[in-house]
Amino acid sequence: MGAHDAGGLTIGFLPGTAREDANRYVDVAIPTGLRDARNMIVSTCGEAVIAIGGKLGTLSEIALALKRGIPVVGLFTWKLDPERLFDTRVPAARTAEEAVALAVELADEREHERQRGVTPAAEPDA
């Protein structure tokens, strides 16, 4: 069951300019007209990112979130080389429920760090 079916409010940042391009699970459609540039919005406006499946656009969203210190949880998505990510971790969930629980936990940890004045790990040019 997805967020929409569970009664959650779902928001879709669409790459094109037509609201009708949203799928039936999107409650609030935001047509950006930005194409691939919308990945910046998708990956940086939340407190955590859940990457599900995906192709190169999903990979870019993972990278953009990580560059800004936003936690990412994977669900049947890209396997990243932990040797190249240094201190960054991208836990893999086995179910949607597990992905949500991990994302909330990581977002809470990030918020607690912010409240303590700890700057999230991010690249200097982020």
- Give the model confidence (pLDDT) of 30-39 as tens digits: 999 999 999 9
The total number of structural domains in the chain stands at: 2
How far is Cα of residue 15 from the mean position of the Cα atoms in its chain?
A: 16
What is the model's pTM?
Answer: 0.85
Cα separation, 59 vs 80, in Å, equals 9
Angle at alpha carbon of residue 118, lines to 61 and 84, rounded to 5°: 45
Q: Which amino acid is at 66?
A: L
Asked if residue 29 and residue 54 are part of one domain, the reply reads no
Asked if residue 74 and residue 28 are part of one domain, the reply reads no
Q: Which amino acid is at 68?
A: R
Token code pair at residue 114 = 């912010």
- Give the model confidence (pLDDT) of 22-61 as tens digits: 999 999 999 999 999 999 999 999 999 999 999 999 999 9
Q: Which domain holds residue 29?
A: 1-33
Asked if residue 51 and residue 109 are part of one domain, the reply reads yes
Asked if residue 109 and residue 62 are part of one domain, the reply reads yes
Asked if residue 66 and residue 91 are part of one domain, the reply reads yes
Asked if residue 96 and residue 63 are part of one domain, the reply reads yes
Asked if residue 96 and residue 60 are part of one domain, the reply reads yes
126 falls within a domain: no
- pLDDT of 126 above 60: no
Asked if residue 95 and residue 57 are part of one domain, the reply reads yes
More confident call, 121 vs 79: 79
Residue 124: what pLDDT? 53
Cα separation, 72 vs 48, in Å, equals 6
31 Cβ partners below 8 Å, 6+ apart? 14, 16, 17, 18, 19, 21
